[in-house]
């Protein structure tokens, strides 16, 4: 047989689309060509595969070798196609049985000795294989008609029970993270000979599926920072509780050392535990990125804190082919921007659309990719360049013009999209000295209230309050006369835009959920107004 077909997947934006590797051996002058929009790393596979086959005592065919990576319009990158190309050559030349490849999927980078190196995107690839299996089961169920048998979910459950799951073969060092994905059988191989022995049916070379090993929270890389470590700042602690309950964006303004960064780092500990779908989605994005994913971070909310020198491409995504940025890597977690005015204004303006929509589309000439970006923005800044504006000791030497120029780095449309804007006062010496005798409320207690408030929102509207649109806000935030009068007077005094008006309503709805109130009251509206006054005064 001179033709072999091997299935694999590309690491495209966490979706891991299927790629078919077709290997054809023909007579003619010896050559080795790879087609199908490969990048430089993929084209270099020719030399790695040739050396690996020869060093593993396989025969490298002295023929005209053509490798096609389909679909041809999908850019292919990374060295993950080394393994399927090598297996395709072995199957096409009859050195392993072609039927052993079947519907199995393979990925891995080969060393010159034939060893399989770790690869990024293993988790995303497993998610893609499991998703493809589910889609196939549903398609078969639909083709059988309403009376054709059991539901697709029943077929999937039966397949799992009978071990009839899609098989994914990866380097042994990358198989552990992929094994966390349910609905796929993951096999880890140390090198090419051991994998070929398994595919050939050798009894002493059989590989076994990797069992999922989910680390316990206490065995994670490091324990999550606890809110009990924060000294004072009761107003900011309450604001973060409201933000966590409703998924709201937060801006903290205060002098150096007030605890802005410390509070931001503790927001993930207040968020509800990730659901199965959320954990899979977040891990798939991290796995396909250059940063990678560690099983120790399974089910932990991401916390991304890029430096203020980051470019727009680093923050929202870019390159060619498009790669996710920090706002996507923080999906379902927290994106912390410290020293907000120090970011380039153009970079900050790119955040406006994803903060509103929860998604971002990165377009290039050849393709465009839609990345999820449903994260919580937490930003921190000083009130002026020196940081001491308003200090009673008179340490600030910034003129009003300098302070105004500093604040003008933040545009009105961007600030409009930040639901909660609070000021943090400087900590007094007596607060610091009372630390040992006065311990704040721990994150676990706050998280329980947050989880209950989130549960009310999901039961009522199926999403967080931050995601409500105008019509839904009108239905779910019906105010009595006193609350409506208070909100209208505040809107007129602070000259809020329509967006700011509705965002105050959303925050009030979240405060009501924390208080188990059916509708926001005047007290809830008053508290929400207090969270919107930093940049509101004329």
- Residues 389-424 have pLDDT tens digits of 877 777 888 888 888 888 888 988 999 999 999 999
**Looking at the structure, do residues 180 and 246 belong to the same domain, yes or no?**
no
**Looking at the structure, do residues 124 and 191 belong to the same domain, yes or no?**
yes
Residue 256 belongs to some domain of the structure:
yes
Q: Where are the beta strands (DSSP E) in 346-503?
A: 359-363, 368-372, 376-381, 420-423
Q: What pLDDT, on the 0 to 100 scale, is given for residue 288?
A: 75
Q: Domain boundary residue among 409, 433, 465?
A: 465
**Looking at the structure, do residues 190 and 81 belong to the same domain, yes or no?**
yes
Give the dihedral sign, CA 341/343/344/350: negative
Residue 370 above 90 pLDDT?
no
What is the pLDDT confidence band of residue 223, given thresholds at 50, 70 and 90?
low
Residue 337 belongs to some domain of the structure:
yes
443-470 per-residue burial string, b: 16 or more CB within 10 A, e: under 16 = beebbebbeebbebbeeeeeebbbbbee
Is residue 506 packed enough to be buried (19+ CB in 10 Å), middle (13-18) or exposed (0-12)?
buried
The tally of domains found in the chain comes to 3
Q: What pLDDT, on the 0 to 100 scale, is given for residue 529?
A: 94
Instruction: Answer whether 198's CB lies under 8 Å from 206's CB.
Output: yes
**Looking at the structure, do residues 292 and 387 belong to the same domain, yes or no?**
yes
What is the pLDDT confidence band of residue 339, given thresholds at 50, 70 and 90?
very high
**Looking at the structure, do residues 306 and 157 belong to the same domain, yes or no?**
no
Q: Domain boundary residue among 173, 205, 237?
A: 205
**Looking at the structure, do residues 200 and 277 belong to the same domain, yes or no?**
no
**Looking at the structure, do residues 145 and 25 belong to the same domain, yes or no?**
yes
Sheet holding 3-9, edge to edge: 31-35, 64-70, 18-26, 3-9, 105-106, 167-171, 185-189
Q: What is the pTM of this model?
A: 0.83
Residue 136 belongs to some domain of the structure:
yes
Residue 219 belongs to some domain of the structure:
no
What is the pLDDT confidence band of residue 149, given thresholds at 50, 70 and 90?
very low
- Size of the chain in residues: 538
Residue 213 belongs to some domain of the structure:
no
**Looking at the structure, do residues 165 and 258 belong to the same domain, yes or no?**
no
Question: In whole angstroms, what is the distance from residue 271 CA to residue 301 CA?
Answer: 8
Q: What is the CATH number of the domain that holds 12?
A: 3.30.230.10
**Looking at the structure, do residues 405 and 439 belong to the same domain, yes or no?**
yes
Q: What pLDDT, on the 0 to 100 scale, is given for residue 327?
A: 93
**Looking at the structure, do residues 430 and 472 belong to the same domain, yes or no?**
no
Residue 211 belongs to some domain of the structure:
no
Residue 220 belongs to some domain of the structure:
no
Percent of the chain residues topping a pLDDT of 90:
52
What is the pLDDT confidence band of residue 431, given thresholds at 50, 70 and 90?
low
Mean pLDDT, residues 357-384: 86
What does the DSSP 8-state code read for residue 228?
Answer: G
- pLDDT digits 0-9 by tens, 25-59: 999 899 999 999 898 989 999 999 999 999 999 99
Residue 161 above 70 pLDDT?
no
Q: What pLDDT, on the 0 to 100 scale, is given for residue 215?
A: 58
Question: In whole angstroms, what is the distance from residue 492 CA to residue 119 CA?
Answer: 57
Q: What pLDDT, on the 0 to 100 scale, is given for residue 389?
A: 83
Residue 366 above 80 pLDDT?
no
pLDDT, greater one: 317 or 192: 192
Q: Domain range spanning residue 98?
A: 3-205
Q: What is the CATH number of the domain that holds 418?
A: 3.40.50.300
Residue 221 above 90 pLDDT?
no
Residue 162 above 50 pLDDT?
no
Comparing 137-141, 200-204, 401-405, 442-446, the range with the smallest average pLDDT is 137-141
**Looking at the structure, do residues 170 and 44 belong to the same domain, yes or no?**
yes
Cα-atom radius of gyration of the chain, to the nearest Å? 28
Mean pLDDT, residues 349-356: 91
- Residue 191, helix vs strand vs coil: strand
Residue 78 belongs to some domain of the structure:
yes
Mean pLDDT of the chain: 86
Q: Domain boundary residue among 139, 173, 205?
A: 205
Comparing 157-171, 239-253, 389-403, the range with the smallest average pLDDT is 157-171
**Looking at the structure, do residues 91 and 171 belong to the same domain, yes or no?**
yes
Residue 218 above 50 pLDDT?
no
């Amino acid at each position: 047989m001179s033709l072999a077909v091997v299935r694999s997947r590309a690491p495209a934006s966490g979706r891991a689309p299927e790629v078919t590797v077709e290997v054809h051996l023909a007579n003619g002058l010896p050559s080795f060509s790879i087609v199908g929009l490969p990048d430089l790393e993929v084209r270099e596979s020719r030399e790695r595969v040739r050396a690996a086959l020869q060093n593993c005592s396989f025969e490298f065919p002295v023929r005209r070798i053509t490798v096609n990576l389909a679909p041809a319009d999908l850019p292919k990158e990374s060295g993950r196609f080394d393994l399927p190309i090598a297996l395709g050559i072995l199957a096409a030349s009859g050195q392993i049985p072609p039927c052993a490849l079947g519907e199995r999927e393979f990925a891995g980078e080969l060393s010159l000795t034939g060893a399989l190196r770790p690869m990024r995107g293993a988790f995303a690839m497993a998610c893609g294989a499991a998703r493809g299996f589910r889609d196939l089961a549903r398609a078969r169920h639909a083709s059988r008609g309403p009376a054709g048998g059991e539901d697709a979910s029943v077929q999937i459950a039966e397949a799992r029970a009978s071990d009839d799951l899609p098989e994914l073969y990866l380097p042994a060092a990358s198989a552990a993270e992929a094994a966390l994905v349910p609905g796929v059988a993951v096999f880890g191989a140390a090198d090419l000979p051991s994998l070929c022995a398994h595919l050939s049916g050798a009894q002493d070379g059989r590989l076994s599926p990797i069992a999922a090993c989910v680390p316990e929270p206490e065995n994670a890389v490091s324990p999550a920072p606890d809110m009990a470590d924060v000294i004072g700042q009761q107003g900011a602690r309450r604001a973060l509780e409201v933000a966590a309950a409703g998924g709201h964006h937060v801006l903290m303004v205060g002098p150096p050392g007030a605890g802005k960064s410390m509070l931001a780092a503790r927001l993930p500990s207040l968020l509800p535990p990730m659901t199965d779908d959320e954990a899979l989605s977040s891990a798939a994005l991290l796995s396909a990125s250059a940063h990678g994913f560690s099983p120790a971070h399974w089910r932990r909310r991401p916390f991304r804190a890029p430096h203020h020198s980051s470019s727009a491409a680093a923050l929202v995504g870019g390159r060619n082919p498009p790669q996710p940025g920090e706002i996507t890597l923080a999906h379902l977690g927290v994106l912390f921007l410290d020293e907000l005015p120090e970011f380039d204004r153009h970079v900050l303006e790119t955040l406006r659309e994803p903060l509103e929509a929860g998604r971002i589309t990165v377009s290039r000439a050849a393709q465009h990719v839609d990345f999820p970006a449903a994260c919580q923005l937490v930003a921190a800044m000083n009130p002026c360049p020196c940081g001491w504006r308003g200090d009673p000791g008179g340490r600030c030497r910034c003129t009003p013009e300098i302070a105004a120029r500093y604040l003008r780095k933040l545009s009105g449309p961007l600030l409009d999209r930040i639901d909660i804007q609070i000021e943090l006062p400087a900590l007094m010496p007596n607060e610091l000295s009372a630390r040992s005798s006065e311990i704040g409320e721990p994150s676990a207690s706050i998280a329980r209230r947050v989880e209950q408030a989130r549960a009310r929102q999901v039961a009522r509207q199926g999403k967080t309050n931050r995601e409500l649109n105008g019509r839904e806000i009108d239905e779910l935030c019906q105010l009595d006369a006193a609350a409506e009068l208070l909100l209208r007077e505040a809107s007129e005094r602070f000259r809020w835009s329509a967006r700011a008006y509705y965002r105050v309503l959303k925050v009030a709805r979240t405060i009501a959920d924390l208080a188990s109130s059916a509708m926001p009251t005047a007290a809830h509206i008053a508290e929400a107004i207090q969270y919107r006054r930093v940049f509101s005064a004329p």
